[in-house]
Amino acid sequence: MYDLTGFQRDLLYVIAGLDEPHGLAIKDELEGYYETEIHHGRLYPNLDTLVDKGLVEKGERDRRTNYYTLTARGRRELRAREEWEQRYIDEFETVEA
């Protein structure tokens, strides 16, 4: 997970939060978060990178539409990231109190 860009991590979170999303559903979610247009030339190469790294699996819904799901490794990596982040959030909350 350490070698992913922030955008790639965001892709993992979106894929985890949706039921077998297709590319345009992922794009719509990210555009809502980033409040800017996500171009296909940015989205699909990054999805392919996640597939190549074994974090995401790409399936075919029909001839024109692919869907994406997290692999077991992708789920483990997200959980590990969440635990890592939580350590710092807990520390921040302790300092703020």
Q: Is 42 helix (H, G, I), strand (E, B) or coil?
A: helix
Ordered by start, the domain boundaries in the chain are: 6-96
Model confidence band, residue 92 (pLDDT cutoffs 50, 70, 90): confident
Residue with tokens 């809502």: 32
Q: Which residues pair with 67 in a beta bridge?
A: 22, 59
31, 38 Cβ separation under 8 angstroms = yes
pLDDT of residue 2: 85
Q: What is the rounded CA–CA span in Å between residue 85 and residue 47?
A: 23
H or E element that contains 66 = strand 66-70
The topology (CATH level 3) of 6-96 is Arc Repressor Mutant, subunit A (1.10.10)
Q: Per-residue pLDDT tens for 16-63?
A: 999 999 999 999 999 999 999 999 999 999 999 999 999 999 999 988
Model confidence band, residue 14 (pLDDT cutoffs 50, 70, 90): very high
pLDDT of residue 97: 66
Q: Per-residue pLDDT tens for 15-25?
A: 999 999 999 99
pLDDT of residue 10: 97
